[in-house]
Amino acid sequence: MDSIIEDVRVRKILDSRGNPTVEVDIITWNGFGRVAAPSGASTGSNEVAAFPQGGVDEVITDVEDLISSELIGMDSEDLTDIDSVLKEIDGTDDYSNIGGNTAVAVSMAVAKAAASSYSLPLYRYLGGNFKNEIPYPLGNILNGGAHAGIHAPDIQEFLVVPVSAKNISEAIFANVAVHKRLKELIQEKDKNFTGGKGDEGGWVPNISNYDALEIQHQACEEIGDEIGITIKPSLDLAASELWDSSVEKYVYGQDNISRDSGEQIEYVKEIIETYGMFYVEDPFDEADFDGFAQLTKAVGDKCLIVGDDSFVTNKNLLAKGIELKAGNGIIIKPNQIGSLSATYETVKLAKENNITPIVSHRSGETTDETIAHLAVAFSAPLIKTGAVGGERIAKLNELIRIEEELANPSMAKFD
C-alpha cells in the first residue's frame, strides 16, 4: 500500500549544455521519487533513442498521459513489471516512441519512490543493508573531442583516479587538486589560454594530444607526491568520433596525423605503457571488437580496457564482447539502454564474467544524483562523473553523504 503509485508528473527542464531534458516525479501513497535524464554528445549508434521525433515537448504533450494512465495504481516495488509496461507502451525496439530518456527517468524515479515509501535511501533499497563500499571517482581534468571546441586535443577525456585514497573525501579532493595544478601547467604550454572548460568541466587548451598526455602525467605525479596518494592517469579516447570510415583511419586533426587500425593499437599500447594508464575507454571504433580484443590481450593485465560505445550498456553486446574477450571493463549509463532493470541485468552479466562495471554520467547532465546511489548499490569500483561543475559535484557530494551513512565504509576493491 505504501508504495502504490498515485501520480506521475513529467516536466521539461534544462541540462548543463542548455538543452531541454525530462524530469519525472513519481508520487506514491507514502513516498516520492524524482529523476532527470542526462544526454550524450558522443553517443554509440546502438543506444536507444533519447526522445521521440518531437523532442521533449512531445513527451510533455502526448507521452506523459499515456504513461501515467498505465502506471497509476501499480506498485512502485514491481520495477521489472513497470519497465515491461513502459516497453509495451513504446512498442519499438529502441524507445523511439516515448524516448529512452523518458523511460529511464520514469524507471529510476519509480525505484526512488519505492525506496522513499519505506524511508530508505536508494542505494540501500537496491543494494541491501550490507553494502559498504564507495567507488573511486574518475575525475575529468581536460576535455577534447566532441566535448570541446576546435583546436582542443582529439582525445575526448583526460581522467584521473586516486587509487590509494582512503575515503571518498580524500579521493574527490585529490582529483580537484590535480585539476587545479593542471591549469597552471596548461598556462605554461598555451600562452593564450583563457581558462575555458569543456562540457564536463575539464580544461580546454589549444595543445597537442602529446602535450596533454605529458602534463596530465606530470600533474598526477606532482599532486600525488604532495598529498601522499597514488593518482593514476586514465583516458576516454571516444575513438568512434575519430574513425573516418571513408579512409578507414582514426583522424587526429589537432596533430595532423591519421592512424589505421594497426597503428591505433600500437599508439594506444604505447600510451598505456609510457604513462602507466590505469584505465582506457573506447580506444577503438565501436564496431572494432577485434581491436579491443588485441589490446586487452596485450595490456589487459595492467590496464582496464573499457567499452562504452561498443557495449552501450546492452547485455547482448556485452555477451558478444565477453565471447571475443573485447575488453575487461564496461561503462554503465542507464539512459543508453532505457530502464533500470535492463541496466541491472548488464551489470550482473559483467560481474559474473569479471568485467569491471563503471557507472557513468553523460556529458549533458543535471544536478540529479541518482548514479551515485547506483554505483554503491551495484558495488561498482569506479564512478565516472567529472571533477568540478555543479552537475558533476551533485554526484560527488552525494557520495560523501552516503559514506557518512554507512556503518563501516571502505573504498571499493578491484578484483
Structural contact between residues 203 and 191, judged by C-beta atoms closer than 8 angstroms: no
Question: Which residue stretch of 3-11, 29-37, 236-244, 366-374 sits at the interface with Mg ion (rule: CB under 5 A)?
Answer: 236-244
Catalytic residue list = 200, 333
**Residue found under cell 529510476:** 108
Residue ranges of E strands in 214-289:
231-236, 243-244, 249-252, 257-259, 279-281
Structural contact between residues 107 and 90, judged by C-beta atoms closer than 8 angstroms: no
Give the cell for residue 381: 569500483
Residues 272-291 touching Mg ion, rule: CB under 5 A, are 281
Could you tell which of Mg ion, ligand 2PG, none binds residue 43, using a CB distance below 5 to 8 A set by kind?
ligand 2PG
- The reply on whether position 241 binds Mg ion by CB under 5 A is no
Could you tell which of ligand 2PG, Mg ion, none binds residue 160, using a CB distance below 5 to 8 A set by kind?
none
Which positions ≥6 away from 338 have C-beta within 8 Å? 48, 86, 95, 100, 103, 104, 107
Could you tell which of Mg ion, ligand 2PG, none binds residue 411, using a CB distance below 5 to 8 A set by kind?
none
Give the cell for residue 155: 582525445
Could you tell which of ligand 2PG, Mg ion, none binds residue 360, using a CB distance below 5 to 8 A set by kind?
ligand 2PG
Give the dihedral sign, CA 360/363/364/366.
positive
Nearer to ligand 2PG, 43 or 296 (CB): 43
Shortest distance in whole angstroms from residue 406 CB to ligand 2PG: 27
Residue 383 and residue 361: Cα distance in Å, rounded?
8
Residues lying near ligand 2PG in the complex (CB under 6 A) are found at: 40-43, 157, 200, 236, 238, 308, 331, 360-363
Phi/psi for 13 (5° steps) reads -130, 175
Shortest distance in whole angstroms from residue 313 CB to ligand 2PG: 11
179 annotated ligand binder: no
Residue type, 322: I
With CB under 5 A as the contact rule, the residue among 199, 236, 365, 403 that binds Mg ion is 236
Q: Of 405, 379, 394, whose CA–CA distance to 36 is shortest? A: 394
Residues near Mg ion (CB under 5 A) are: 236, 281, 308
**Annotated binding site for (2R)-2-phosphoglycerate: which residue ranges?**
156, 333, 362-363, 384
**Annotated binding site for substrate: which residue ranges?**
147, 157, 281, 308, 360-363, 384
**Annotated binding site for Mg(2+): which residue ranges?**
236, 281, 308
